[in-house]
Amino acid sequence: GENVEQHPSTLSVQEGDSAVIKCTYSDSASNYFPWYKQELGKRPQLIIDIRSNVGEKKDQRIAVTLNKTAKHFSLHITETQPEDSAVYFCAAFSPGGGADGLTFGKGTHLIIQP
Amino acid sequence: NAGVTQTPKFRILKIGQSMTLQCTQDMNHNYMYWYRQDPGMGLKLIYYSVGAGITDKGEVPNGYNVSRSTTEDFPLRLELAAPSQTSVYFCASTTHARSEQFFGPGTRLTVL
């Protein structure tokens, strides 16, 4: 099955700086890569996703890049703000896995220092 | 639309007790999922369903059961609760496996 590794597990950045979270996946057939944000005590919510026919996608201060050859994808947050503090999960969807083909990484705790 | 709702929000069980975690969605989604999230860990899939009357095991199904008699409801049953089942449980739904999953607010369960 698919295996998703996420790094780092904790990331502390100064407010206004950029943050980058990286994920690697094992199944070269994986074709959908969502990112979820989970604030403390809240439910995970999708913030951005990318499909395998696209190399980069941007939404305001958030961007995701995908390198299919290297089998890794990254979340980039620019001009970080206090409200960006949360746990971020990457995931990869493997078609061979069927309806349960989405595999999550273990999460990155992003801390924005004032 | 209420989206995905879960009850109860919190529950404390004694070892050996049973309970049902309720999950309802009003978005007419066929796909529904149950995850557990242990402290500092990611989401582990317990069970999932691709439509009414169809359920299947995920990564960590032992100690749990599910049913899907309607499109809207996907209850999770815990039989003979054990301390290892202390966790936060999230229900999610989506239109398709390769689409955004919408999560419920979660149920925080403690087994003592």
DSSP state of B49: E
Q: To the nearest whole angstrom, how far is the Cα of A88 from the nearest Cα of chain B?
A: 10
Q: To the nearest whole angstrom, how far is the Cα of A44 from the nearest Cα of chain B?
A: 6
Distance CA A21, CA A11 (A): 8
Stretch A74-94: mean pLDDT: 97
The structure tokens listed for A48 are 């951005």
Contact criterion met (CB < 8 Å) for B97 and A44: no
> Which residues face A62 on adjacent strands?
A59, A77
Q: To the nearest whole angstrom, how far is the Cα of B80 from the nearest Cα of chain A?
A: 26
Q: How confident is the model at residue B94 (pLDDT cuts 50, 70, 90)?
A: very high
* Residue keyed to tokens 């999922």: B33
Which of A43, A89, A93 shows the shortest C-beta gap to B105? A43
DSSP A28-96: TT--EEEEEEE-TTS--EEEEEEETT-SEEEETTEEEEEETTTTEEEEEE-S--GGG-EEEEEEEE-GG
A114 contact B CB<8A: no
Q: How far is CA A110 from CA A90, A99, A114, B27, in A?
A: 13, 30, 13, 31
A53 contact B CB<8A: no
B112 contact A CB<8A: no
Distance CA B34, CA B25 (A): 13
Q: What is the pLDDT of residues B18-75, one digit of tens each?
A: 999 999 999 999 999 999 999 878 899 999 999 999 999 999 999 999 999 999 999 9
Whether residue B93 contacts residue B26, with contact meaning beta carbons closer than 8 Å, is answered with no
**What's the confidence (pLDDT) of residue B23?**
98
The structure tokens listed for B80 are 């003979």
